[in-house]
Each structure stands twice: as structure tokens, then as C-alpha cells.
A and B are shown apart, each in its own frame.
Chain A
Amino acid sequence: MNIFESITSAVYSVLANRMRSVLTMLGIIIGISAVIMITSVGQGLQTGMSEIFADFGAGTMTVNMRNNPANPATRRDRLTLESAEFIAEHPDVAVVSVASGSNARVQLRNPTETTSLTIIGADENFRQAQNVDVRFGRFLATLDVDRSAPVVVIDSTLARDIFGRTDVVGETIRVTFWFGTVDLTVIGVFRNNDPMAGMFGMATTAFIPITHFQRLFNTDNMVDQLLVISEDLDRLDSIATEVTRLLSLFHGNEDRYQVTVLMSQIDMINDVLGMITGFVALVALVSLAVGGIGVMNIMLVTVTERTREIGIRKSLGATDGNIRFQFLVEAMILTLSGGIIGIILGYYGGFALGGLLDLSPAVSIPTVILTVAASSLVGIIAGVYPAHKAAKLDPIEALRYE
């Protein structure tokens, strides 16, 4: 009896008890579809995260001042344009940019309506530190910073909210800070790529020259944050340490600055996401194991029900191996077809869930291969004992079974 014949015969047996087969497969279907759904959504989440961080250059690190209530920062500790210039001297540092931020409100088309936005004081290098996708006009230039010009680069969503269109270079927007209202001339419009921005109702962003920001807020030459870019991607961590050391030297203090390498952040977040996904998938695998027990249970019932058939087959010359194989194939067909149905359901379930969470799930081929292998393995494990039991039946006893 060859494999093809065994499979055909097993398919007939599975089809002969349709309802029972479907119910038995259900455990496997749920297990496999859960694994596929969870891993695909997890994959989508990781991709989404990477996209957010992709806005930053690969070698970008941010420098912030550490706040220590026990030892409050003095004016001398604050980061300034001079600290930025000093760091820029370092041979491993390609570009240094600065940023200071504040919340503000801006008047919309309807004069009685305003919306919140984040004003970021930056310099011309900022565009390199964070990929700003300028669609109309231009980004901040050296001249704007030198002259502390009252100009602004706004986000296209904001442009549409204020003016009803996106090409608004040359227009003026009225921004209200806690201390008063300022008019700023639009010199550029950029497209906001952050997929999470809309999701969390995050304020839109506008860039003004850092010098103008400092003048408005009366903060001399201080900045909130430095953005340091290095092209030596392999040594980012040691360069980060070096930057910390140099800043402490420059400001004459100790342990005051926090340097964050964004790439390590991405890796860390992805590691955590991967762990969560793996863990949840593991829980789903437990349900697969439970499904396997269901298959084993039904296979044991099937063997008992078909005791007489086994006796007949043995009396006609079936070997123990023939019988064992027959039941093993049946168990495998149950789990494997359950697995395939589960993969299909999990695939569409992942997309449905991904649609709700506003991310694009991805089903990886290795995951599919792994789940197919897992369901076959479950079939073999669940089938071995019942098949062995069937194979070892005594033909005389089996023939007498009613």
C-alpha cells in the first residue's frame, strides 16, 4: 500500500465524519490562526515603529540635560549654541543641530478657532538630523538663523487647516504663546510622515529659527536639545560617551547630560516588541497543544470504533505498519488541514486587526512554514499513540469486536 493510497483512504475517513472532523480541527484552527494573527500584527507594529524612527537619520543621537532635583542645574549647565559648536569640532561628529520647543496656538481660517501646535526652534542643520520632507518653499537657512528672522516652516496638515491649501509660501500665520502673539511668515511647507501623529491626535509641528525662538522666549543662546549626527554607525555608543565627556568638560560639570542613540532605541523597542509577540505567540501555541490533545482524543475514539475494521484489514494481510501508518496519516490530515485553514483565517484576521490599529501586518514565510511544521508535528504526536494502539490489536479480538 503506497503513501498516495493511504492518504486517499485517510481523506475518505475524515470526510465520512465531517462534523466530527471539523470540530476536532477547530482547536488546531484556533491555535494556528492565533499564532499567524499575532505574529503578523507584531511584525506590522515593528515595521511601523521603524518607519517613525526612519525620519531620523541613522546616526542621530540626541543630547539632553539630565534633571537632578538633589543637585539642580545652574545656568552654567544649560546647553547652548556654543556647546553645539564645540561638539561639532569633534572629528567623529558630522553635523550638530539644536532644538528648543514650546507649545503654542495658531489661528485657523475661521478667526474664532485656534489649534495647538508645537513650535520648534531649530537651525539649518536640523533638516539633516530629522528627515524633513519639504514640499513647497524651503527649510530654514543659515541666513534665517543669523538674522533671527520671523519666518516659519509649517506642516502641510496645518497649512490646510489654516488656509485650505498646502502651497502657502509667503503667507503669514498668527501664533499665540503664553506671553503674547507673534506673526510669522511661511517660507516652507513640509509633509508630516509620522504615521502615529494622526493616531494620537498629536499637535502639528512648525519650525522657526532657533535665534528667533531664543529672542521670543528671552533665553539668551540656550537650547533644549542637541542633535548630533555621526557617520560612523558602528561606533555610535562610544561616540555618545565621548560627546558626554566633552560636554562635561566644556561646561565644567559632571554627569549632567544624557546622550541617546536613536538606533539603539529602535533596536530596544523592536526587541521588546519581539519579546511580547513571541510570548503571546507562545500562549497561542499552548492552544495548539490543547487542540492536539483533542485530535488525540478523537483518534482514540476512532480506533475503538473501527476495531473490527482493523481486524478485517489484518486478516486480509495488513501489517502492523500499514495500520499504524493509516491512523497516523488520518491524524496528520486533521491537523494539517486545520493548520492550513488556520493560516488562511490568521492571515485575514491579521489584516482585519491591522486595519483597526492602523498598521500594515506582515505574514512572513518562515512563520507560515513553522506553523505548517508545527501542525504536522502536533498531528504526528497526537496520532502516534492511537495508531500504535490500533496496530497492536490482536486480529482475533478485533474481529470479535461488535
Chain B
Amino acid sequence: MILRVENLSKIYRNGAIDVAALRDVEFSVNIGEFVSIMGQSGSGKSTLMNILGCLDSLSAGKYLLDGEDVSLIKGKKLAQIRNQKIGFVFQSYNLLPRLNALQNVELPMLYGGVRRKKRRAAALEALERVGLAGRVHHKPSELSGGQKQRVAIARALINSPAILLADEPTGNLDSRSGEEIMEIFQRLNREGVTIVMVTHEPEIANHTNRIVAFKDGRIISDEPVENPIQAGS
């Protein structure tokens, strides 16, 4: 098991009223799984994703990542976990506009203290893995949406994280580019990468092996996908 949350709650204070975004969520992900989290907006799926990505704190419960209770970790150590254990892919890519593809992909290694030469080699390899070997010196503004997202995936993969988290990775893309991204995810998953992906599109979710559905901050169903759609076939 790579990831496990127990009795997870997240409560936002909105003035005098407490709003629970997540209530007593329990679920776990095994190594090698490709899980999609579904739900309408406001269902708490993005909140869960931010907590899983160690970007947000939880109000109650436990979050075990790679055997470690990260709900107790703060500061520098937490930054290290974000750096080493988690690869995050955002809906809006979140590339740094002033850096080229290669430099963007290098960033996590930069913060991981990896030397320049090694960093460069790893970044090139990661870009090759997502099919962007010919675009390494392009700035994000010179890339298409699908290409930008592939750079973001390469960046998420570079430190070989325990888990790849993707928050609506196809949300800003046309269906063809989205299909390409799913193809990459499926390939990475076959190569052993554990992926948790948030989406609200059933079509996209059907590319994964398991669907966890959220409503009002609770899990309403958690079922395997019988015959996942194979992207690109």
C-alpha cells in the first residue's frame, strides 16, 4: 500500500459557520494502481487532492504516504516530501513562463539539490518519456496545451515520486490532446507508476482501473473499472 487516509476530515471556517469539505474519508491506494476520483464541483475531490499532495492540511484523521504519517509533518520536511514523494500535475499546467521546458522539468531536482549535469540528463530523459525530446528549449508560450501538460507530467515524474497526482489533467484540453495525456498516463501506469487522478468526465475516468466517487465530502462508491478504455487504440 502506497497511500492510505483514515477518518480524514477537512473543515473550513467560513465566518461563524464550519463547512466540512471532507467527512470521515477512508480509502487507500496500492502500488501500481491507476485510480480516478470523480464527483461534481464542491464534492471535495479537489480538497482531497490538495491534501494528498501535501499542499493543504487536514482537520482530523490520518494520512499515510509511503508508510509515513504526513499529517504530522510540517515545514522543511513537508517540502521535502512534496519534492521527493509526490508528483503533481495541475489542470492549468502551472509551468513557469520565463523558463523553457527543460528548465521547468529540472525545477524539482533543483530543490532536491541535484547537480546541474545530472539534472539536465534526467530532465531530458523525462521529456523524452512524454514525447517532447524535440521541444526542450521552447518556452511554455511556444507550446500547445497538450505539450504544456506533457512538460508538466515530465516535471512531476523527474524525482521518481511514490505517487503521481493529477488534478483534472485534461480539463483545459481538447479531446484529442486529452486522449494523448491519457495514453501517457496509461503507459506510465503500465511501467509501474501509481496514479491518482481527479476528473469529472466519466469518459476520462473510464481510462483508469478504479473509480472513487465523491459527493458532499464523502465517498459514495469505490469500484473497479471492468474494461478500461485503452487510449490511442
Contacts and interface: CB of A to CB of B under 8 A. Distances in A.
Given A312-B94, A317-B111, 8 more contacts: A16-B98, A316-B83, A316-B107, A317-B80, A317-B83, A320-B79, A322-B79, A399-B90
Contacts of B113: 1-2
Interface in B69-99: 75-76, 79-80, 82-84, 88, 90, 94-96, 98
Contacts, number: 65
Contacts of B82: 314-317
A320 B75 contact: yes
B98 A12 contact: yes
A315 B84 contact: no
A314 B55 CA distance: 8
A396 B49 CA distance: 11
B55 A317 contact: no
12 contacts: A12-B98, A308-B94, A309-B96, A312-B95, A314-B82, A315-B55, A316-B82, A317-B111, A317-B112, A320-B79, A395-B55, A399-B55
B177 interface: no
A388 to B, nearest CB: 14
Contacts of A16: 98
Contacts of B83: 316-318
B121 interface: no
Contacts of B107: 313, 316
A164 interface: no
A223 to B, nearest CB: 82
A319 interface: yes
B201 interface: no
A12 B103 CA distance: 13
- Give the interface size class of chain A: 20 to 34
A317 B90 contact: no
Contacts of B55: 314-315, 395-396, 399
Interface of A: 1-2, 5, 12-13, 16, 308-309, 311-322, 395-396, 399
B96 A319 contact: no
Contacts of B111: 1, 313, 316-319, 322
Nearest to A398: B55
Contact of B50 (A5, A13, A321, A396): A396
- Give the interface size class of chain B: 20 to 34
Given A1-B113, A396-B56, A317 B108 contact: yes
B53 interface: yes
Nearest to B84: A317
B231 to A, nearest CB: 26
Given A1-B113, A5-B110, A396-B50, A315 B56 contact: no
A319 B155 contact: no
Q: Which of B50, B55, B79 has the most CB of A within 10 A?
A: B79
Contacts of B94: 308, 311-312, 315, 399
A317 to B, nearest CB: 2
Contacts of A396: 50, 55-56
B115 to A, nearest CB: 9
Nearest to B78: A319
Given A1-B110, A396-B55, A314 B98 contact: no
A395 to B, nearest CB: 5
Nearest to B46: A396
Contacts of B159: 317
Contact of A317 (B79, B95, B98, B116): B79
B90 A314 contact: no
B56 A320 contact: no
A314 B75 CA distance: 11
Contacts of A316: 82-83, 88, 107-108, 111, 155
B96 A312 contact: yes
Nearest to A1: B110
Nearest to A2: B113
